[in-house]
Amino acid sequence: MAAEMSDDAVSVLRREWVFEDLLALPDDGYRYEILDGQLTVTPPPSVLHQDVIDNLRTVLLGRVPEQWRLKTGVGVRVPRPGPERYVVPDLLAASGPRPERYYEPGAVRLVVEVASASTELRDAGSKKALYEAHGIPTCLLVDPVARTLTAFELAGGAYRTAWRMTDDAPGRDLLAGVALGDLTAEPR
């Protein structure tokens, strides 16, 4: 028999979340984000997922402008008013002064999302739309299972597909000369 949930417990689950609520959550390896006031929880990444991020970060370190900093596990918070929006890309590049807790979209130059079974729709949907709406110039979506990397660039306020990396097509721009196998390989 399923346990009954009190009305108070249901209202807590359905309430609108704000960034300050995240500060009380445990540091347990799960990724906590807020999209339009609703809490989303993602399990820790798989080993392949983490390998792709590590490899991308290593490749990009020598290729991004010197004033850009590459960060993993750091969030982007869209200024209010409106429902809270705080997301954590798998990797981001930002410029400007180091913030205390999160970056605002204007400082973010590049975001990377690596698809997994639990994040694929959100990464390519609501998170990509959020990055686009708030002017983040470049978004890379990596699907290590489908073996693709799609680069989106902002043009006229909307993302357009700039290029696509597959096993048969190497990267371009910041990833010129990089093969998909370089990104999915197990690091030493």
Q: What is the pLDDT of residues 128-177, one digit of tens each?
A: 999 999 999 999 999 999 999 999 999 999 999 999 999 999 999 999 99
C-alpha triplet 17, 86, 109: angle, nearest 5°: 170
**Dihedral sign computed on CA atoms, order 82, 9, 118, 112:** positive
Residue 8 has pLDDT above 80, yes or no: no
Question: In 3-state terms, the chain is what percent helix, strand and coil (to 5)?
Answer: 30, 30, 45
DSSP 94-120: E-SSPPSSEE-GGGEEEEEEE--TTTH
Residue 9: what pLDDT?
Answer: 44
**Position 86 pLDDT exceeds 50:** yes
Residue 25, token pair as written in the block: 């959550």
Q: 28-56 pLDDT, tens per residue?
A: 989 999 999 999 999 999 999 999 999 99
Strand 91-94 versus strand 138-143 pairing type: unpaired
**pLDDT class of 2 with cuts at 50, 70, 90:** very low
pLDDT of residue 120: 82
Q: Is the per-residue pLDDT at 75 higher than 70? A: yes
**Closest C-alpha among 130, 185, 123 to residue 150:** 123
Distance separating alpha carbons of residues 33 and 76, to the nearest angstrom? 10
Res 12: pLDDT: 52
Our measurement of the distance from residue 70's CA atom to the centroid of its chain's CA atoms, rounded to an integer in Å, reads 12
What distances in angstroms separate CA 85 from CA 79, 137, 160, one per listed residue?
A: 8, 18, 23
Domains of the chain from N-terminus onward: 45-184 (3.90.1570.10)
Compute the mean pLDDT over every residue in the chain, rounded to the nearest whole number: 90
What pTM was estimated for this model as a whole? 0.89
Q: What is the pLDDT of residues 9-31, one digit of tens each?
A: 444 556 899 999 999 999 898 99
Mean pLDDT throughout 182-187?
Answer: 92
For residue 13, the model assigns a pLDDT of 59
Indicate if the pLDDT at residue 6 is higher than 60.
Answer: no
